[in-house]
Structure 1
């Protein structure tokens, strides 16, 4: 990443979208986002936070400092990922990335950007990733866990990770709340769907040998990696027992798990404890999911109360973003 950021704990998982892109990319089935008297809606559904918290950089900076954070990493909300008609979304993607670079450049290191990229076309992705790598204040990209029925163990999504790694860009994997009929009530599309999507991508990376091919890839899974920490033993058993599980990777999934980054939005100290039991201590980073209603309301306090110190969180956040340690910058 070009440039540096303010000292302090870094929240790697927060969202921003400029007002002129609230309509969402072509092909999106959700009806677009819209402002109603200062509150943000997705289609006809209220999102339960002020529009300014998603769209106004000054508001986000003020909320970042109020939360006791040194810096916050902003990326598009998952509804804005260009997955429904990606070939028609180039202008939307380029506009988001250009406005993101401009927005973070005006915050004196308080905000860092993660851009947007297509996952269906490696050449189109390479062009956009190359521009992002040259932009001030941009550390990488945010991507969905699955796209076009694929995750990161094969086809274009895997190749896009290779391009990001070669350019030194960080990758944040964020679920999209993909609809399923059995999840159409109780907000299960989020409460179950989000963790399951993330878990699918973690499994694809581990069992697909992605980190064996791309040892320099910095990739982070939000919401504590979904269900992955609780399934790691099952995956390891399958890897030892079945040729079809073992075929894509030369080392047990638990070994590669320690090379992944995870944010800390678990909503449960015991789940955080489980994550810490399996993940490397230098790969656990602070996350909030600001400004959504499922956000961790006090991301720093939650972690300090449960045994992760601020210096470690800052160092881990800087490492994920590809920045020098604070005392060396």
Structure 2
């Protein structure tokens, strides 16, 4: 698909939300809601559209309004932006409603068959990874299971719940610095990972060993991770954290370690220490001020933890950074 055609897709979304389109970025702040939708041409076979918005009123959408399935087939990843989607069967003109009550990904090969309601009052983030049809077919051709589930000659709707890997890479797509030098390159990596895991999980559905399946919802554990990342200025009490996430303390400890491979305290400490490097490079605060801002009991406690993680003291790290800046000037 050419850039001109990608622009046409973005124009469809712009019309739907009554927004303003500049290049491949659409923004809106009106009676419908507020947010942005941005399109990326990652390579000849993959496009990505990133959605981030909040609606002031409920919006009913029919697939024919989007007009974006001609050459590409999308896979949508993210939080459920609607409680259900309704699919009309082309042959019998019958309708089937699919419940979407968990974070995941779904793919459908007919826009006109799709209708859904976008609900008001909450922030919505999701990705549409659009695969050129021949590229989509290459994944399908990898196995009999995929060929049976995703036959492009027939209408299909397939949903796959997020696993920890998909959830992590989905979040990375929203954390990459917008407009940065390698934004497209990072997004291409994240999109390829999401797509590969999506097809892989569908292929493995009939042969998953029960001992290797997650028999629990991962959402409370990712909620705990988000809380830890957002509260780097304070100590975390795990009992309070577990109550916020709706799990027992022992259950949260166990699941967090199983999914992220580290303890809650170590993860939170690493986040604080990583942020301390940003503050050290900024140079506007003393070691004591940084220690206080990041919830350490003292400057010596901060220095000891920093040296243990990075093999040099905060003072030496700042000195090395200043010297590198002077040398490059």
Structure-1-length-normalised TM-score: 0.29
Structure richer in strand, relative to its length = 2
Structure-2-length-normalised TM-score: 0.29
